[in-house]
Amino acid sequence: MSMTQLLDATIRQIAVPGKGILAADESGQTIAKRFATIQVESTENNRRIYREMLFTAPQLSDYVNGVILYEETLGQKASNGSTLANVLEKQGIIPGIKVDKGLVDLVGTDREKVTQGLDGLSDRLVTYKEMGARFAKWRAVFDITDVKPSCLAMETNAHNLARYAAICQAHGIVPIVEPEVLMDGDHTIERCAEVTEKVLHTVFRHLYLNKVSLEHIILKPSMVISGSTCKQQASSEQVARETVRVLLRTVPAAVPTINFLSGGQSAEFATENLHWMNKLHPNLPWLLSFSYGRALQAPSLDAWHGKDSQLVQGQEALLKRARLNAAACVGEYNSTME
Ligand code: 13P
């Protein structure tokens, strides 16, 4: 298969109405934070048990067609001896891999962040592909204040996202392009819209300059939403209208699918927002779906609580969120389904 055929095949399997992606690619540091909330120690074995519980949830593939893994998970074995990547494939779910190396301060700015990981990326992709990964993820973050994000932070992060995407496509790996405008702060939804529009324009300009095939990316943006400490919190309908308005102004129709991150929203709010976008706008040029981490996993983590006796409850909690978000992808969610 040529690289283009490979990219085509992966996109065809991911860009399916009514299905989305589970982000289970928390770094060592992040998963330790999540486990601490349920008093579970973050050992390699506990991480494996937890993720095996998620990936073996019965019929998960009815709602989820891709899972993003952390490097450690890609190499881990399930209790039946096959790799966790294989466990997913057997379920009909495509394994993907987080390839960025996290955030560092961007020199020349007031502690804004830049994502690192381009050095050696091409070699790492060869290995990840051999291990079964067919898509990748790179997350860039943008702070909102009256003066942030700076022009330097936007240009540098957009350039890195585009270099990453181009390198992935050269290996036949579909890149998830994730520019996350952070929710932290007391900014209004209008300010979030303004910043998100600037960020997305900048990202798509760099994707174009780097000759990235837009037909073979998954865009993973944040929603346009009120800052987490803003006194006036926008409703789901407002979030849906503002988000779609900004996307229509910035994202070319060639992009097949937009899979949102949840970014600290509650599980219910993330589902409701996605529902209203699809309900109010049934004829958009791209699919609108999910690639949630916390909004899919938090209830499951809580139900499991690190106990072998509660693995089934953990799976049921994941399946419930996955099913409701799948319904939201086609505008058929209703809060009575909670
Ligand atoms: P959240 O949905 O928790 O934001 O996680 C998605 C993700 O992959 C962040 O990079």
| pLDDT value of residue 42 | 98
| pLDDT value of residue 20 | 98
| pLDDT value of residue 86 | 97
Whether residue 215 contacts residue 177, with contact meaning beta carbons closer than 8 Å, is answered with no
| pLDDT 10s digits, 184-221 | 999 999 999 999 999 999 999 999 999 999 999 999 99
Q: How far is the CA of 103 from the centre of ligand 1 (A)?
A: 14
Of 71, 178, 242, 272, the catalytic one is: 178
| pLDDT value of residue 30 | 97
The domain 3-15+23-330 is classified under which CATH number: 3.20.20.70, 3.40.1710.10, 3.40.50.300, 3.40.50.11310?
3.20.20.70
Q: How far is the CA of 213 from the centre of ligand 1 (A)?
A: 24
Average pLDDT over residues 272-278: 98
Mutate which of 262, 265, 325 for ligand 1? The one with the most ligand atoms within 8 Å of its CB, which is: 262
Mutate which of 294, 297, 300, 321 for ligand 1? The one with the most ligand atoms within 8 Å of its CB, which is: 294
| Cβ atoms < 10 Å from Cβ of 316 | 15
Q: Whose CA is nearest to atom 6 of ligand 1?
A: 293
Q: Whose CA is nearest to atom 8 of ligand 1?
A: 23
Q: Is 307 a catalytic residue?
A: no
| pLDDT 10s digits, 287-325 | 999 999 999 999 999 999 999 999 999 999 999 999 999
